[in-house]
Amino acid sequence: MEKLLTVNDLADLLNIQKRSVYVARYTRGNLPPAIKIGGLLRFRPDDVETWLANQPASPRNLARAEALAKRRTPQKAETE
């Protein structure tokens, strides 16, 4: 099972304020789908990646998608 993203994680990834995530959520703004767990918002990385891929292409959106992909790719420990 993959780790769900918090509001802070999503805000950092999108380079927006945490408050902006909550405002967009409650005003039905343009955000990836969220799930509520015990009153807290969480985001599935796959949903965020799909949402980003469906946004209009711009260098900023592409950079965000790449950042998410890098966070999800396990880093191999280099052994020498």
Tell me the pLDDT tens digit for each residue of 6-42. Answer: 999 999 988 889 998 988 888 888 889 999 999 899 9
28 part of a folded domain: yes
**pLDDT tens-digit readout, 41-66:** 999 999 999 988 887 766 666 666 67
Are 43 and 4 contacting, i.e. CB atoms less than 8 angstroms apart?
A: yes
Indicate whether 1 belongs to any domain.
no
pTM of the model: 0.68
Residue 2 resides in a domain: no
Asked if residues 65 and 74 have their Cβ atoms less than 8 Å apart, the reply is no
Residue 49 lies in a domain: yes
Domain range for 47: 7-72
The domain tally of the chain equals: 1
The angle formed by the CA atoms of residues 54, 60 and 61, to the nearest 5 degrees, is 15
DSSP bridge pairs for 20: none
